[in-house]
Amino acid sequence: MTLPRFAFTALLLPLAAPALAAESLPTRVGDCVATTITAIETRLQDDTTHEAVPGSGSAVRFANGGYQVSYDTVPEIEESKKGDKVRLCLVSTPQDCPKGDERGKIYRTTNQRTKKSWKLPDSEHTCGGA
């Protein structure tokens, strides 16, 4: 039995979707994408040594270019590892921002390995801030 061409494409689409989603950030509130953690960092690094500054907060980077940061140390981020698969969802976007200032989007991230989540912004300051 041969499958019609559209049926074959429909069968492959779910396999392609995660790979496509990993390449971009969600753009609408409520949208989610699959990506991986590329780095677990502290919020600040020493300008001279480039070493982490303990107690300065948490930061995490993703393969799709995403970034989240907190002034606090976030245990759920600290328990994560480079390479962990995550689900990154856009929760909110700032309003009335100066043109070109995209800072302040808030994302909820769920680590697929630890099953723990956190909700943080993509910048230390929201649009129009410092």
Task: List beta partners, residue 67.
Answer: 61
Cα gap 55→46, rounded to integer Å: 12
Percent of the residues in the chain that have a pLDDT greater than 70, as a whole number:
82
**Mean pLDDT in residue range 16-44:** 82
What's the predicted TM-score (pTM) here? 0.78
Could you read off the pLDDT of 60-96 as tens digits, one per residue?
999 999 999 999 999 999 999 999 999 999 999 999 8
